[in-house]
Amino acid sequence: MSEYKPAAPMTARRRGRRGVSPALRGERSVVRGLGVGLLWLVVAISIAALVWMVAQAFRDTRAILDDPWGVPASLDFGNFVRAWTVGDFAVATWNSLLTTVVSSVLTVAIAAPCAYYLSRVDNKLTRGLSLYFILGLGIPAQVILIPLFVMLNKVYLTDSIIGLNLVYIGVSMPFTVFLLTAFFRSLPLEMEEAAALDGTTAFGTFWRITLPLAKGGILTAFILQVISHWNETLLALTLLQSTEKYTLPVALISFVQQQTYSGADWGGLFAGLVMVVLPMLVIYVWLGRRLTEGLTLGMGK
Amino acid sequence: MSIGLKEPRAGKAAAQNTASRKPAGRKAPAQDRRPGSSIDVQRKKLLVPFVGPAFVLYTVLFIVPALGAVWISLHKWAGSGPMKFVGLDNYGRIFRDRLFLSSFGNTLLLLFVVGAAIFILAFAMTLVLRDMAGKKMVRNVIFFPHLINALVFGVLAGFIFNPGGMVNSLLAPFGVTDPPKWLAQDNIFPLIMVTLVCTTTGYFTTILMAGVDRIPPYYYEDCALAGASAFQRLRYVILPLTWDVFGTCAVLWTISSVKIFEIVWVFGGSSGAGVPPTQSWTAAVYTYVNAFSGQSTPAYGAATASAVLSLALISVLVVLLRRAMRRDAVEF
């Protein structure tokens, strides 16, 4: 596995490639043309599916079933209102929002100093610690599910948003520490050394030099946590039992399961799906490049 | 940020010490900084405040439960009441349990069959994407499904494959009057596999692309000069130079495929009792149902044994993958 290489030269290379080498654009075969066509088809279908889903959320169930290809006749928020009130999505959205933001902020706040230490001090202990953190990357959630439930039950933290937050923070440590360690390693050391020469303490260099330099990486780590905590389902499903504690995915599952008894309310269901997907779309459109770069940076190793 | 522990400002003298020891005008590269330099000494004191909180949280909420899982898997336990030590009995029992074997088989199907399909498609897409116009836009679009909760795909599939749903209405003009029962219990799992291929390929394409983009263009130019065919270029340039990225992707898929749960749980709108049909269970679903479904006495022992086996599967595969992928890293 090769070392992570900082992104800057990569993008420069990518940019420089266009136009420079005719060798790259030489071939025009049928297979290739077909492939390009297929790819655009995939893109078109993906976008259409997303638009379709949002459109259906504004139609009532009968209209959806009669003609699933139709477009909404008017901007009717009835589905959302019903999902919001009957499906308990209002509370669930609030819970999801709270859990996501709090746990993501704390995850990054706790992981960043740790990653900084592991990236700057190189000895047997830190190498061992890095390995210890990486270990967690390979442990699937279902392994810790039952013991976690038992443990939290003992201290009355099941069915509690605080408990869920704690779990999310603990579970996110391996990835965040791993990502930020790689990121801190890619930062130049000169500024820190200059600051140290000027008499800044070790903590001071971290707080006043490295953190401001690492803003981008930290934001990326934060957003990645927001995405994974917003979508996390299995742990929330296990740890939360009462409706007023549900997060959005759990509320969605219970909404789906209610339908088995009360008849399908596809309108409300589509509204629920949109509530789950739309925040992710907003984040992606807003910070998309940072995200893909962050993910591939973490994976470059 | 919460870490508020300020180190006493004892750095001044130490810092001057560094200054006098370092030859002026020579920047110390990251790797060969001398071990005794004072900023290092000072940094080392930050071990507890910096690493401590992360270490404690991670250990208590992740490592201890993981070890606890191994412990529980050696006991017969219904979640409350006494735990009875039974040794490896739970493992023997789940291996005699048809349900577990089919669930674990499904997990293996996801891991290998879906994995292979994803890789072939992702690699093909990468090759096409490599130098096509508008590749950034394509890449941005195909990456997005990775950010969506798999629940959404499960619910949507239920709508699309309904007997009166969209797929059948699409097929009708082609003379398919008797379409297969998509959501019959036996058909759900293959559908889940197809759905997963469709929704996951884009993510792996993005990662592979990052690897392919790193290849400097002069290699391709050299290929063109040497008259290499497209296949030769693939075989001798692209594959060797992206080999490590392939390894990473394989490890990633191994880890994430074993966790697959949500999409199975709601696929096609679930059946009456809220538990999906047993034919579509994965090992993760088996664990969850055995412990928390409330349908029968919780069997924590068997449930954790299944989870621990999944972990063992991951560990073995990751070790094997790392070994298989260990080639001379090509530096470029």
Looking at residue A168, its pLDDT comes to 92
Of the candidates A117, A199, A280, the beta carbon closest to that of B51 is on A117
Averaged pLDDT, B150-159: 85
CA-based nearest residue to B72, from A137, A168, A150: A150
Q: B329–A204: do the CB atoms touch at under 8 Å?
A: no
Is the pLDDT at A138 greater than 80, yes or no? yes
Q: A141–B259: do the CB atoms touch at under 8 Å?
A: yes
In a domain, B16, yes or no: no
- B219 vs A: CB within 8 A: no
Name the residue of chain B whose CA is nearest to A284's CA. Answer: B144
- A204 vs B: CB within 8 A: yes
**CATH code (residue B176):** 1.10.3720.10
Provide the shortest C-alpha distance from residue A74 to chain B (in Å): 22
With cut-offs at 50, 70 and 90, classify the pLDDT of residue A10. very low
Looking at residue B27, its pLDDT comes to 44
In a domain, B26, yes or no: no
Which tokens hold the place of B34? 């001398």
In a domain, B41, yes or no: no
With cut-offs at 50, 70 and 90, classify the pLDDT of residue A87. low
CA-based nearest residue to A292, from B198, B206, B121: B206
Name the residue of chain B whose CA is nearest to A1's CA. Answer: B244
Q: A136–B221: do the CB atoms touch at under 8 Å?
A: no
Of the candidates B65, B125, B144, the beta carbon closest to that of A148 is on B65
Number of other CB atoms surrounding residue A282 within 10 Å: 10
What phi, psi does B294 have (nearest 5°)?
Answer: 75, 10
Q: A47–B141: do the CB atoms touch at under 8 Å?
A: yes
- B300 vs A: CB within 8 A: yes
- A37 vs B: CB within 8 A: no
Instruction: Give the mutation candidate from A52, A203, A276 for the B interface (greatest B CB count, under 10 A).
Output: A203
- B206 vs A: CB within 8 A: yes
Averaged pLDDT, A215-232: 87
What phi, psi does B76 have (nearest 5°)?
Answer: -95, 120
CA-based nearest residue to A184, from A48, A49, A4: A4
Q: B274–A118: do the CB atoms touch at under 8 Å?
A: no
Q: Which residues of B touch A17 (CB under 8 A)?
A: 217
Q: Which of residues 147-166 of A touch B (CB under 8 A)?
A: 147-151, 166
Dihedral angle computed from the Cα positions of residues B238, B239, B245 and B248, in that order, rounded to the nearest 10 degrees: 170
Q: Which of A23-37, B171-185, B305-319 has the lowest mean pLDDT?
A: A23-37
Is the pLDDT at A94 greater than 60, yes or no? yes
**pLDDT tens-digit series, residues B15-47:** 444 444 444 444 444 444 444 566 667 777 777
With cut-offs at 50, 70 and 90, classify the pLDDT of residue B131. confident
Q: How far apart are CA A215 and CA A156, in angstroms?
A: 37
Which tokens hold the place of B7? 């180190």
**pLDDT tens-digit series, residues A146-182:** 888 888 888 888 888 898 999 999 999 998 898 888 8
Q: Which residues of B touch A39 (CB under 8 A)?
A: 125, 128-129, 132, 138
- A240 vs B: CB within 8 A: no
Instruction: Indicate the average pLDDT of chain A.
Output: 80
Hunting for tokens 């013991």 — which residue is that? A147
Task: Name the percent of chain A lying above pLDDT 90.
Answer: 9
- B266 vs A: CB within 8 A: yes
Q: Which of residues 120-149 of B touch A (CB under 8 A)?
A: 124-125, 127-129, 131-132, 137-145, 147-149
Q: Which of residues 50-79 of A touch B (CB under 8 A)?
A: 50, 53, 65, 68-69
Q: Which of B4-13, B271-280, B292-301 has the lowest mean pLDDT?
A: B4-13
Residue ranges making up the domain that contains B145: 89-325
In a domain, B68, yes or no: no
Instruction: Give the mutation candidate from B94, B135, B136, B159 for the A interface (greatest A CB count, under 10 A).
Output: B159
Averaged pLDDT, B206-222: 83
Give per-residue burial for A25-45: e unless 16+ CB within 10 Å, then b. Answer: eeeeeeeeeebbeebeebbee
More confident residue, B319 or A8: B319
Q: Which residues contact B150 (CB under 8 A, 6 or more apart)?
A: A233, B199, B260, B262, B263
Q: How many domains does chain B have?
A: 1
Q: Which of residues 109-148 of A touch B (CB under 8 A)?
A: 109-114, 116-118, 120-121, 125, 129, 132-133, 135-148
Is the pLDDT at B243 greater than 60, yes or no? yes
Q: Which residues of B touch A147 (CB under 8 A)?
A: 64-66, 68-69, 71-72, 304
- In chain A, the domains with their CATH numbers are 27-80 (no CATH), 87-263 (1.10.3720.10)
Q: B145–A53: do the CB atoms touch at under 8 Å?
A: no
Instruction: Indicate the average pLDDT of chain B.
Output: 78
Q: Which of A108-122, B11-25, B50-64, B166-180 has the lowest mean pLDDT?
A: B11-25
What ipTM, to 2 d.p.?
0.80
Taking only Cα atoms into account, the Rg of chain A, rounded to an integer number of angstroms, comes to 24
Burial of B98 per CB tally in 10 Å (0-12, 13-18, 19+) = exposed
Averaged pLDDT, B71-77: 84
In a domain, B14, yes or no: no
**pLDDT tens-digit series, residues A16-65:** 444 444 445 545 577 778 888 888 898 898 898 888 888 888 887 777 77
Is the pLDDT at B6 greater than 60, yes or no? no
Q: How far apart are CA B284 and CA B310, in angstroms?
A: 8
Looking at residue B197, its pLDDT comes to 92
Q: Which residues of A touch B141 (CB under 8 A)?
A: 43, 46-47
Is the pLDDT at A260 greater than 70, yes or no? no
In a domain, B313, yes or no: yes
